[in-house]
């Protein structure tokens, strides 16, 4: 399973998306998922926008893109198993003197709990988390 980080989902939502990412996504033969953290980040980004047509359009786009994942049970939650992995992620980064954003640590923890690869542009944010990383932008 490959978990799509927020920046990958955002890229796939763009009309002028990176062709490498688009080609990578089209060629996938393994199951993909998103995390509840990514869904929250996407919705928070929309909610920050001023009221209007653009906000409405982006909200609909987020829902359209994530609906298939929701329907298939592939919006992975931050649950008790993830919480255990979260502690490991934080400790591993702390031991190396590497801070990590809460959302990134939670996404890494969810990936660890599911034995999933994390697809992200921000590889440096996930190193030393114990998660296999894949950068579709390269």
In terms of Cβ atoms closer than 10 Å to its own Cβ (0-12, 13-18, 19+), residue 45 is: middle
Residue 5 marked in a binding site: yes
pLDDT tens per residue across span 111-129: 999 999 999 999 999 999 9
Confidence of residue 80 (pLDDT cuts 50, 70, 90): very high
> Which is nearest to 93 in space by CA: 67, 76, 112, 74?
112
The per-residue pLDDT of the chain, averaged, comes to 96
The interaxial angle of helices 6-13 and 19-26, nearest 10 deg, is: 100
Architecture of domain 2-134: 3-Layer(aba) Sandwich (3.40)
Which pLDDT belongs to residue 38? 98
3-state secondary structure of 76: strand
3-state secondary structure of 134: strand
Residue 56 marked in a binding site: no
pLDDT tens per residue across span 8-53: 999 999 999 999 999 999 999 999 999 999 999 999 999 999 999 9
pTM: 0.93
Which pLDDT belongs to residue 70? 96
Beta-bridged to residue 119, according to DSSP, are 4, 134
Q: By the 8 A CB rule, do 2 and 32 touch?
A: yes
Domain ranges of the chain: 2-134
- Give the mean model confidence (pLDDT) for residues 74-98: 97
């Amino acid at each position: 399973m490959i978990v799509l980080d927020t920046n990958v989902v955002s890229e796939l939502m763009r009309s002028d998306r990176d062709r490498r990412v688009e080609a990578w996504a089209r060629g996938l033969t393994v199951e993909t998922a998103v995390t509840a953290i990514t869904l929250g980040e996407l919705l928070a980004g929309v909610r920050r926008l001023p009221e209007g047509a653009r906000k409405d359009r982006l909200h609909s786009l987020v829902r359209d893109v994530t609906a298939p994942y929701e329907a298939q049970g592939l919006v992975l939650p931050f649950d008790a198993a993830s919480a255990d992995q979260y502690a490991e992620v934080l400790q591993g980064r702390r031991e190396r003197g590497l801070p990590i954003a809460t959302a990134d640590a939670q996404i890494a923890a969810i990936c660890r709990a599911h034995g999933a690869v994390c697809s992200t542009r921000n590889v440096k944010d996930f190193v030393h988390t114990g998660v296999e990383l894949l950068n579709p932008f390269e």
